[in-house]
Structure 1
Amino acid sequence: MPRENYRERLDDLRDGVVGMGDTVCDRLDDAVEAAVSGDDDLARSVIEGDHEVNETYLALEDECTELLALQQPVAGDLRLVAASFKIITDLERVADLATNLADYGGPEGGVHPAVDVRRLGEAAREMVADAVAAYAARDPDACRDIAARNDDFDERCRRASEAVVRELLEADRARTEARDADGDADGGATDDEALEASLDEVSQALLAVRDLERIADHAVNIAARTLYMVENDDELIY
């Protein structure tokens, strides 16, 4: 392969990764909206569109494999191809998590109100978008900034999870006190049904928080691979 064509393929690979990142961020936007609003049509669109992300992933994976096998790149070129290979894997997993989020809203409405899915989702999406932008710009400072922001995001997720569990406990306590005050022994079955519904809602909310936290972790992975690509520095890889 002529070197001019080789350089073009490296540029095309980089552009393809950035394009995949843009698509995944758009899907994540829609997933968060579906989770907040309970929009079943939007959720279905996110879920059914996941195959397009998978197809892009497979095409870019093939390109990375061919470049490694046919060109045997070294130094910076090798790090570019290897980082791109890892980054598209993280982006594909973000898209999978987006399909989970889209499904959490359900036909009855959005995720438990104790979880501010919109703000958490916007923050996670921003981290992914910034990580992809850092890859495109080869910006090591942006990579380190994304990793530093993750601690704050993890703390926000922890507080959200605690708030959900706290509301569940308080609601169950209130039901128990109301039943005891009324002396209504026959209300136990109704209370059990209400508790089961609350547990389902809480479980869904906790899963949403977990998936948002994982999305942010994938953003850090992208930043880590980019930093290694640019500076041969593995400090963020874990």
Structure 2
Amino acid sequence: MARKGFQQQLSELREEILYMSEIVLERLRMGLDAQETKDESLAKEVIEGDHEINELYLGLEQDCIDLFALQQPVAGDLRFIAASFKIITDLERVADLATNLGEYTLQAERDLYPDVDIQGIGDAVIEMVEKAMTAYAEDDAERCFEIDDRDDDIDAMCEDASGIVVRDLIETEIDDTSSDTEIESLMSEVSRLLLTIRDLERVGDHAVNIAARTLYMIENSDELIY
């Protein structure tokens, strides 16, 4: 009976982590929508909602610690708990990056660089996290490798987007007639957009981390971790 209870606890832990991932991805979508529509109320909702994610994280962290300490798991169960512990950290950091998007929206003064497809990059990294969590839910090792391969495409998308911003900045005519306010505003928007691209690239990195820990959980393989 005790072992059956332990397996039930592991099943519940997985379900709670999947629930956390749904909330995190919802906040990430909201952050992207807030940037696209310049919706300050939506941006504030994302920022204020970070507290809920932190509470979920702390609760799940304690659950993992309790399972380590009280159940003394071995073999596959030990790997599952260890991987889950790492995965909730990646999810919490994705939520922090979503909060950043909300903050960038509040700081924005104008919309520059329509050729930069922020939404496209955002959709791609959201899909990566979704697939990583599906791999975790279904013990799907093959999907873990697919996510790792996809990261190269995300890196290329982000590099291209950053290149557009930098080239445009170089080509922008700033002369003696440009006021300090105009120059400061331009540099602020450039910085905001580059930070947005960087943060979305990091979301993709966290998806790879989740896939790597999932592969370790399933096959006791550290191939994607290093």
- Match of 2:223, SS state, is coil
Are positions 1:39 and 2:39 aligned together? Answer: yes
2:64 counterpart residue number: 64
1:170 counterpart residue number: 171
**Matched residues in 1 for 2:194 and 2:51: separation?**
26
**Matched residues in 2 for 1:191 and 1:53: separation?**
42
Gaps of 5+ in 2: none
**Shift in Å at residue 109 of structure 1?**
5.0
Instruction: Return closer, same or farther for 1:115/1:141 CA change in 2, 3 Å cut-off.
Output: same
TM-score w.r.t. length of structure 1:
0.90
Paired amino acid for 2:132 = A
1:134 counterpart residue number: 135
- Match of 2:222, SS state, is coil
1:76 counterpart residue number: 76
Aligned-residue identity in percent: 53
**Shift in Å at residue 189 of structure 1?**
5.1
- Match of 2:214, SS state, is helix
**Shift in Å at residue 5 of structure 1?**
1.2
**Matched residues in 1 for 2:112 and 2:104: separation?**
6
Structure of larger gyration radius: 1
2:219 counterpart residue number: 231
Paired amino acid for 1:171 = T
TM-score w.r.t. length of structure 2:
0.95
Gaps of 5+ in 1: 177-187
Instruction: Return closer, same or farther for 1:110/1:210 CA change in 2, 3 Å cut-off.
Output: same
- Match of 2:165, SS state, is helix
**Matched residues in 2 for 1:23 and 1:132: separation?**
12
Preserved contact between residue 224 and residue 234 of structure 1 (Cα < 8 Å): yes
**Shift in Å at residue 101 of structure 1?**
1.1
Give the one of 190, 193, 198 matched to 1:205: 193
**Shift in Å at residue 127 of structure 1?**
0.6
Preserved contact between residue 109 and residue 189 of structure 2 (Cα < 8 Å): no
Paired amino acid for 2:222 = D
RMSD: 1.5
Q: Which digits, 9 at most, give the CA deviation of each residue in 1:23-61, with x for residues without a partner?
A: 111111101101111110000000000111111111110
**Matched residues in 2 for 1:63 and 1:47: separation?**
26
1:156 counterpart residue number: 157
**Matched residues in 1 for 2:39 and 2:103: separation?**
9
2:101 counterpart residue number: 101
**Shift in Å at residue 196 of structure 1?**
2.0
Preserved contact between residue 110 and residue 189 of structure 2 (Cα < 8 Å): no
Give the one of 178, 182, 188 matched to 1:194: 182
Instruction: Return closer, same or farther for 1:108/1:9 CA change in 2, 3 Å cut-off.
Output: same
**Shift in Å at residue 111 of structure 1?**
6.4
Instruction: Return closer, same or farther for 1:32/1:110 CA change in 2, 3 Å cut-off.
Output: farther
**Shift in Å at residue 113 of structure 1?**
2.8
